[in-house]
Amino acid sequence: MNDFEQKIFQAVKEAVHQVYGLEPEDNLLTVEVPRDTKLGDYATGAAMKLAKTLHKSPMDIAQPLAEKLQELLPEAESVTVAKPGFINFKLRSGALTALINQVLDAGDDFGRNDSGKDVHILVEWVSANPTGDLHCGHARGAAWGDAICRLLEKSGYDVLREFYVNDAGNQIVMLGESLISRYFEHFGKEYPLPDNGYHADDVKQIAKDIAEQDGDKWLTADPKERLEYFMLEGKTRELKKIEKDLELYRVHMQSWIHETFFYENNMERINACLKRMDEMGLIYEKDGALWLKTTDYGDEKDRVLRKSDGTLSYLTPDIANHVYKVERGYPVMVNLWGADHHSYVTRMQAALTALGYPKGSLSVDLIQMVRMVEDGAEVKMSKRTGNAITLRELCEDVGVDAARWFFVSKDISSQMDFDMKQAAAKDNDNPVYYAQYAYSRMCSILKNEEIPDFHREDSYDRLTDEKELLLLKMMGEFPGLVAKAAKMRKPNIVADYILSLVKLYHSYYNSTRVNNPEDPELTNQRVGLVKALQVTLRNALDLLGVSAPESM
């Protein structure tokens, strides 16, 4: 709800209480913009929702409410009743136009709200293995997670942005062996490349860099020492590359937690978790393995913590990781995982519930697959390298703005086709171009030397055009929309809002003359509206990590 809707909502609630002595549920008191705006700026169907409770016709219920609402809402020019029982509100012109100065005063903070005040939340996303480049699947999750964090931060949450580095396990061993093979190859020597090793060009490049840095000393080194070195060098260099690509993509992490951290000091943190589970009676041994009783907490079967060969399952350090998140002061956790982790969600949530954390402590948003298409055909490989399209190549091909927009404008719960040709287009068929073009049009008006310098006014009462009033209403919706999108973790809501706003603005731009030399007062008030719209659109784009260019 925007400020006006919230005021009307509270007034309706109070009117129902005063007139009928009821405390209705909030879902009975909807406030919306009527289809026919000639009837009013806002409307409520509360009378129809109350008919069954009060055993009266909606029209009979609505009339006394309308009279009381006229008293409770000084912002309303009129409160009228229409069949079959709608109550319509026509706001005084000053009530809407006062928003212009509010937006200009807030500036970059317009849209900021405190809906998440005192909530400490840790968002973990991307978390790719440091064994290769980020690809387009990572790009979707990276943009979505960053937009979620921007929304949460704008809504007053205390947010920690975290990347969990999967740098333990067989995939890192395979990275080390693959690098050694390429290192030997650089010196004309043979070393078998594992069947399930890494064959990408970046592995060859890292091996070449190590060879140029260290020379041939690793050819005759102790095999164990050599493997440890190449594993460390490999994951360190790959992780630096990942961090660099994320920065290019405008994704900023505050915390990098390594899986190997939980194996340090003889697995101190992992053993503390296992001891805690043991003391709580949550684990048992069977067939030489250690099991967690996750079936008692909603899982389809119990899960192995330690295998019969003594090695830990992936679940065990992951439990320690989530316990560590809470210990650092973040009892609310959100993870973004690939859709292939669907079955893992329940066991992780069950483990945390078993340890005594409240249900809902961990939320997991699953990222569905993305298919890159061009001219209707799927594109699996880069035209330049012949390998999977990397995040960096995507940014170079279509631009960071388009890449981010396309990924956050579609809900991650659905599979999507990323149209590369459309994303690269510089025309109004490209939604991000369409949105940015609206912003550049606003800037061109404000840079027009023929328009006198803007001065604030106490009232913008000359803004009576229907599109001007609709634009004002849409601006008023923005703070509430930000709070809603943050709570739902749905940045696509903001993308939809942007497109609705710019569609209306383009229509207004094409039909209305902002600069009217014969009427400087009207010109000034319309410039004020454009300046406020400029702030709103820039802030909305920023929530998606999309730039607002002043010219195009």
Same-domain check for residues 489 and 450: yes
Q: Which two tokens stand for residue 383?
A: 């035209």
CA distances from 496 to 167, 371, 404, 408, 544 (A): 38, 22, 14, 10, 11
DSSP 253: -
Q: What is the DSSP string of 148-187?
A: HHHHHHHTT-EEEEEEEE--SSHHHHHHHHHHHHHHHHHT
- Residue whose C-alpha is closest to residue 479's, from 104, 110, 8, 97: 110
**For residue range 88-140, what is the model confidence (pLDDT) as tens digits?**
999 887 778 889 999 999 999 999 999 999 999 999 999 999 999 999 999 99
Number of domains the chain is built from: 2
495 belongs to a structural domain: yes
Query: Would the pLDDT of 432 be above 80?
Result: yes
Q: Which amino acid is at 347?
A: R
Q: Which of 56, 91, 126 represents a domain boundary (last residue)?
A: 91
| Structure confidence at residue 75 as a pLDDT band (50, 70, 90) | confident
Same-domain check for residues 9 and 84: yes
Q: Mean pLDDT over residues 345-363, rounded?
A: 96
Percentage above 70 pLDDT, the chain: 98
pLDDT score for 94: 76
Same-domain check for residues 109 and 52: no
177 belongs to a structural domain: no
Residue 43 sits in which domain range? 3-91
Three-point CA angle 409, 485, 125, nearest 5° = 70
Provide the Cα torsion 426, 501, 493, 329; round to 10°. Answer: 100
For 368, residues 6+ apart whose C-beta sits below 8 A from its C-beta are: 339, 412, 413, 414, 415, 416
| Structure confidence at residue 191 as a pLDDT band (50, 70, 90) | very high
**For residue range 264-301, what is the model confidence (pLDDT) as tens digits?**
999 999 999 999 999 999 999 999 999 999 999 999 99
Q: Mean pLDDT over residues 397-405, rounded?
A: 97
pLDDT score for 222: 97
Q: Mean pLDDT over residues 484-499, rounded?
A: 98
Average pLDDT, the chain: 94
Q: Mean pLDDT over residues 373-377, rounded?
A: 91
Q: Which two tokens stand for residue 277?
A: 């589970």
**For residue range 9-33, what is the model confidence (pLDDT) as tens digits?**
999 999 999 999 998 887 778 888 8
383 belongs to a structural domain: no
246 belongs to a structural domain: no
Please report, for the domain that includes residue 443, its CATH number. Answer: 1.10.730.10
For 544, residues 6+ apart whose C-beta sits below 8 A from its C-beta are: 143, 147, 150, 404, 405, 408, 491, 494, 495, 498
CA 439 to chain centre: 22
* Number of separate helices (H) and strands (E) present in the chain: 18, 15
Q: Which residue has the tokens 């169907």?
A: 45
Query: Would the pLDDT of 386 be above 80?
Result: no
pLDDT score for 1: 57
242 vs 94, more confident? 242
